[in-house]
Amino acid sequence: MKPSSFKRTYVFPFQYDVPSYTTEFIKNTSVVKRYIKFVKRYLYLVFKRQNNLEVGQIYQHHHRILWINKSAPSLGDSLMDLSSRVMLNGKEVVLFTDVKNAHIYRQDHIFSKVVTSINQLKDHKYDLVIIDSYSTRSIKIKSEVQPKTPFVGMYGYYNGPEVNRTLFSFHRMNQLLGYPESEAEINSTARATMNFPKDTVAAPIFHFLNKYVVIALGGEWDYRIYDKWFDVIDGLFARSSVLNIVLVGSSNAIEIANELMSVYGQKNIVNMVDQLTFVQTANVIKGSQILLCCDGGLMHAANAVGTPIVPLFARLTPEMQLTYCIVAFSSYDELNVKGISAERILDRYDKACKLLEI
C-alpha cells in the first residue's frame, strides 16, 4: 500500500468535478481518524484476499456483471447511486441489494435480475463485480459470493464527504468505461430512472384525475419535515378553487395528512398517505403536473420519472441533490426547511406554472 493511496478517500476517481462538501469534510474531520478508517478497509481487503483483484476499468469482455449495492439502503440514495446503470446497456447486469429497495428494480430496463439473498448468488459465475464502496459489509459479501472474480468500486475508498451522488455515479461509470462521453454530455443528461410494471395502478380514482398536483408529506429527518402545509394549501386553493391535490407519504406522514383532511376534506384533495408502495407512489407522481416536496426519496422518485418539482432543501444545497436536466424550482434554508416561508414556496410554484404553462 502506497502512502499516496490515502488520497483515494477524498479525491474523485475520475477527472471531472462534481458538487461536494469535500473541503468542509477534510477541515472538520481528523486526518488520523480518516487514515485509520482507510487502513482498516485496506487491511480487510487483504484479509479477504481481494486486494489484487481490483481492476481499473470495465472492459468489453466484462459482459456478465454482478452489482452489489448495500452500503446506502435509503430509497433516494439507491436511485442516485444506481442511476448510471443506463450506461451498461447491452450487458447482463444482476443487482444484489437491500430487501426494501429490490421492488424498485423488478421491472428494470438494465438489471436482468434482482436478488436480496447471498444464497441466490452462490454457484453463479460473473465476469466482473461492481461494489458500491469498500465497506467491510460489501467486501464481505463479494468475497463470499465471488471470491476470485475481478471487481471495480463505484466509491471505492472514497468515503465521508457529501457529494452529488447522481453525478458521482455517472462520472465514475463514464471513467470505468473509458470516457465514452464528455463532461458536458454527462452533466446534461445524468438523472435517476425508474420503470413500472404495466399493472402498476395506485387506485381507481386516478383513472379520472386528469390534472393534479402532488404534495409529499412527512420525512425521516426533522430538519427535512415542513410545518406550513396549511398555509401552502390555502395559497394553492386561492389560486384555483378547482385544483386537485393528492397527498402522499409513508407512515410518518399519517398525522399531518389526517389534520389536513379534517380541514380540507370538502376540497378536491385525495389522501393516499401510507396507502401505496414506493413504486405506486412514484407512478402517481409521474401522472401529476408537479410535485411539492422536501428533499427525500419521493423527490428522487419524481426526478426519476421526469415530473417537475418544487423542492425544499436544508443543509444540503439543491446543487448537491439535483442534476442539470431536472426541472426544479427550489427553496433552501441553511438549517431547516421550516425556515422556508409558505410565500416562498407559492412563489416558486407560480413560476413553475408559468414556465410549464400549467
Each residue's pLDDT tens digit, 90-103: 999 999 999 999 99
Please say if the pLDDT value at position 203 is more than 90.
no
Each residue's pLDDT tens digit, 167-189: 999 999 999 999 999 999 999 99
Confidence class of residue 206 from pLDDT cuts 50, 70 and 90? low
Please say if the pLDDT value at position 205 is more than 80.
no
Among the listed residues 133, 146, 152, 136, the one whose alpha carbon sits nearest the alpha carbon of residue 88: 152
Confidence class of residue 200 from pLDDT cuts 50, 70 and 90? low
pTM of the model: 0.94
Longest dimension (CA), the chain: 68
DSSP letter string, 55-81: -S---TT--EEEEEE-S--SHHHHHHH
* pLDDT given for residue 162 in this prediction: 93
Please say if the pLDDT value at position 43 is more than 60.
yes
Considering only 190-199, 280-289, 323-332, which range has the smallest mean pLDDT?
190-199
Each residue's pLDDT tens digit, 235-286: 999 999 889 999 999 999 999 999 999 999 889 999 999 999 999 999 999 9
Confidence class of residue 333 from pLDDT cuts 50, 70 and 90? very high
* pLDDT given for residue 85 in this prediction: 98
Going through the chain in order, the beta strands assigned E by DSSP cover: 64-69, 92-97, 111-115, 128-133, 151-156, 213-216, 245-248, 269-271, 290-294, 309-314, 331-333
Q: What are the chain's domains? A: 3-189 (3.40.50), 204-356 (3.40.50.2000)
* pLDDT given for residue 2 in this prediction: 57
* pLDDT given for residue 4 in this prediction: 62
Confidence class of residue 198 from pLDDT cuts 50, 70 and 90? low
Confidence class of residue 340 from pLDDT cuts 50, 70 and 90? very high
Please say if the pLDDT value at position 209 is more than 80.
no
Please say if the pLDDT value at position 349 is more than 90.
yes
* pLDDT given for residue 95 in this prediction: 97
C-alpha cell at 105: 428494480
